[in-house]
Amino acid sequence: MRMPRSHKIKMRNDGSVLLMVVFIIALLSSIVMGMLQMNMEETQVVQNQVRAAEATATAEAGLNDTLYQIRTDPLWTTGFTNKAFNGGSYTVAVTGTLPNRTVTSTGTAANSFVSRVAADVTIGSAIPHIIRIDEFRVNE
């Protein structure tokens, strides 16, 4: 039996749809905010890795500069103090007695990140002096 068209069924809607919409918007907002936070944290991690790599490259430049000095004069142990390099600087200390030396270079990048490299080297007696790196350490 069919109901006549004149009888419409009234649905009561006491704001439950509005409440559901507000709940869904709040849920989606929370998800978006969480994703943005994760994205910002990952960006910071990448920036820190780049800055640390710059500091390590600066420290390695100090090591290379020192090896050049030792290659021309194996008695050279002066080292460097805050020698400018690529917006940052490096400080190098040379210790030990011939033919073995330890070279420790601390690099500070332009962004104030610091890295240290150290190398135990053996210096040959023939001119030009051949330098062999026996051990290389980074940030120890």
* Residue 59 dihedral angles phi and psi, to the nearest 5°: -65, -40
Q: Is the peptide bond before 128 cis (omega within 30 degrees of 0)?
A: yes
DSSP 73: -
The mean per-residue pLDDT over the stretch 116-139 comes to 91
Q: What is the pLDDT of residue 19?
A: 87
DSSP state of 18: H
pLDDT tens, residue by residue, 78-91: 999 999 999 999 99
Residue 4 lies in a domain: no
Q: Domain of residue 115: give its range.
A: 16-138
pTM: 0.75
Among 58, 50, 83, smallest CA distance to 138 is for: 58
- Is position 9 within any domain? no
Domain count of the chain? 1
Is residue 6 predicted with pLDDT exceeding 70? no
Residue 8: predicted pLDDT = 60
Q: Is residue 6 part of a domain?
A: no
State how far the Cα of 84 lies from the Cα of 90, in Å rounded to an integer. 7
Question: Is residue 133 included in any domain, yes or no?
Answer: yes
Q: Is residue 52 part of a domain?
A: yes
Residue 57: inside a domain: yes
What pLDDT is attached to residue 140? 80
Residue 7 maps to a domain: no
Q: Does 119 reside within a domain?
A: yes
